[in-house]
Amino acid sequence: MNGWSAEALADMSHDPAITRDVIANIEYGRRKDVGVMQLWAIARALRVPLVALLVPLDDPSGTVSVGDREVGVMDALSAEQAWVQSRQPPSADQAFAQLAALRTYRRLLATIEISSEELIGFEVHDAADIAMRKRLEESWESDRQALEDHIVVMRALGIEVPDLG
């Protein structure tokens, strides 16, 4: 692992539960039940994101199975970045809540972008068009409010999100 001996990595983890034997058993596949806290300690010792131990980073557009769920590699990276900022690993429920929040955020941004493009390209020729434009504007405003509300949820989950301009 990273050119280090199992003993050196165990020492660098600063976790008494991470011994040379634990590292060797993980490395050689003899141990498959590695806990989140152990992975967290190993990732910190290796100075890599936790997700680097869990997902194939060579294909950022791919997905990885987490239990019975498929998680996008980029979603996993974004969620892991939020976890690192909090300096503690999340529970499984927190992790999935953060991933769901990131997916919803991306979906809301895409919806607002599409609505904005529709409004920009919409030409008004008659009264029916005026009514249609009003509905588009109301829909855009509703989507934007949903995004602002969702940003509050994301911040409560520990995910840093920029303010809307």
Structural domain count of the chain = 2
Q: Same structural domain for residues 70 and 102?
A: yes
**Residue 9: partners with Cβ closer than 8 Å, 6 or more residues away:** 1, 2, 18, 23, 42, 45, 46
Cβ-in-10-Å burial (0-12, 13-18, 19+) of 51 comes to buried
Domain that holds residue 40: 1-48
Q: Are residues 132 and 70 in the same domain?
A: yes
**102 and 140 inside one domain:** yes
The CA-atom distances, in angstroms, between 95 and each of 17, 80, 158, 160 are: 23, 8, 11, 15
pLDDT per residue as tens digits for the range 140-158: 999 999 999 988 888 887 7
d(C-alpha 56, C-alpha 76), whole Å: 11
Lowest mean pLDDT, pick from 14-18, 47-51, 79-83, 120-124: 79-83
The predicted structure's pLDDT at residue 10: 85
One domain, residues 89 and 22 = no
pTM above 0.75, yes or no: no
Same domain as 22, residue 78: no
Q: Is residue 54 assigned to a domain?
A: no
pLDDT digits (tens, 9 = 90+) for 59-115: 666 776 665 667 776 666 666 666 556 556 566 677 777 778 888 888 888 899 898
Q: Is the pLDDT of residue 124 over 60?
A: yes
Average pLDDT of the chain, as a whole number: 79
